Amino acid sequence: MIKPFYDLRRLACVLAFALPTVAAAAEPVPNLDALRQEIWRSFDQVRQDQDRLPPTRRATGDALRRAELLARAPVIRRLQAVVEGDASNDVRIEALGLILEWGAPDAAGQALGRLAADHPDDDGTATVLQTAYGQTPAPDKRAQLEALGRRTRSRAVAGTALFLLAQETLTGAGPPPSADARAAALHRLQQVRDAYGDAPSVLLGSGAPPRLGTAAAALMFQTERLAVGAVLPPIAVRTLDGAPANSAAFQGRLTLIDLWATWCPPCVAGLPELKALSATYGPDRLNIVSISADDDPAMVARFVARQSLTWTQWRVGSGGKLSEDWLNGAYPLYILVGPDGRIAATGASVAAVAPALKALASQSPPGPA
């Protein structure tokens, strides 16, 4: 039974040399889904390795991020090989998007440069930018995106560039934008809504059908109606069991709202900080309400149990629709609401709302658990 196998292998070798074009045509399409799964497994492996260490030796902050980058570096190299290979344009753009999102700063910056140089007019570039730009560590990403937005002939890419630049100004890390920068960002969102509103979108809060204009309107709502000092707009969602739930449940209480999803790495990375806040203040001093954008409530319930998340858990689904006029366009989003129902702080990280939380917690009397 072994000899026919070798005969077949010898024949295959002969055919490969004799018919090189046939062999090239049979080259398998790179499995980007498998590479994406390897990236996620690298996260799990790093966390497992850290859990085996004594608490005092576990990596945190920049050290943990370096460990994660090192763990997924082999996958990034394979994605770079896909980009340099004979893959189709669609596959190459998707591979560049994964490098942009998960690669080290230099690799991510090069991936953004390749997208801008080789695929500026391809609508697929808009899709990967919407997916990856907010998370990329590319050091010059804003300048590259501004240049791409000016030169592209794709309406989807041009509208996406305007949206992402505005989103970065309004919700990015760092101090709040100046009044002029905020006004310029809102003007960009109006341009997106008015000139590119029908462009397809994969951004959260893009509605049904998903459109870039809807995402822009959602971000404008978030900026104007979720400003510090504004009264929290009504929230109407569901519990993980499917029962109706709304924001009237926490009136009169100091509340931290966590808009998140299990598939969002920064959201999951913030859970230990929420656990620490829960342990520090307890439910009588701080009401934490997590609202998931996941579609499957049973899966969220299993995740919550596995992670031992003890605070209130609600669900809104992938459309991000919290009420008739409130669509959230970016996760994670943390909203601190005082007992008077007014927004005290918002941010894309727990650290961004922590100072206001500490100040309010010292002033607020205990509420019902």
Question: What's the confidence (pLDDT) of residue 60?
Answer: 85
Ranges of CATH 3.40.30.10 domains, the chain: 236-363
Residue 282 gets the label, from left (phi > 0), alpha (psi -120 to 50) or beta, of left
- The CATH number fitting domain 236-363, selected from 2.70.210.12, 1.20.1250.20, 3.40.30.10, 3.40.50.2300: 3.40.30.10
How far, in Å, CA of 107 to CA of 19, rounded? 37
Percent of the chain beyond pLDDT 70?
87
From CA 367, how far away is CA 364, in angstroms rounded? 8
Which DSSP category does 250 fall into? G
On the question of pLDDT at 251 being above 90, the answer is no
Q: Per-residue pLDDT for 7 more than 90?
A: no
CB-CB contact of 159 with 188 (8 Å):
no
Averaged pLDDT for residues 308-327: 77
State the average pLDDT over residues 267-277: 91
Predicted pLDDT at 26: 41
Amino acid at site 107: A
Residue 97 contacts by C-beta under 8 Å, 6 or more apart in sequence?
Answer: 111, 115, 127, 128, 129, 131, 132
Question: In the prediction, which pLDDT does 227 show?
Answer: 86
Going by their DSSP bridges, the two strands 236-239 and 244-246 should be labelled as antiparallel
- What are the beta bridge partners of residue 257? 289, 335
Long-range contacts of 22-29 (CB under 8 A, 24+ apart): 24/86, 27/86, 29/87, 29/88, 29/91
Residues 26-77 have pLDDT tens digits of 445 679 999 999 999 998 899 899 989 998 998 988 899 999 999 999 999 9
- pLDDT per position as a tens digit, 74-118: 999 999 999 999 999 999 999 999 999 999 999 999 999 999 999
Region 176-188: mean pLDDT is 94
CA distance 184 to 173: 18
Contact 205, 318 (CB under 8 A): no
Pick 253 or 1 by higher pLDDT: 253
Residues in the chain: 369
Interval 321-343 mean pLDDT: 79
135 and 101 Cβ atoms separated by less than 8 Å: yes
How confident is residue 323, by pLDDT bands cut at 50, 70 and 90?
low
State residue 28's pLDDT score.
Answer: 57
* Model confidence band, residue 330 (pLDDT cutoffs 50, 70, 90): low
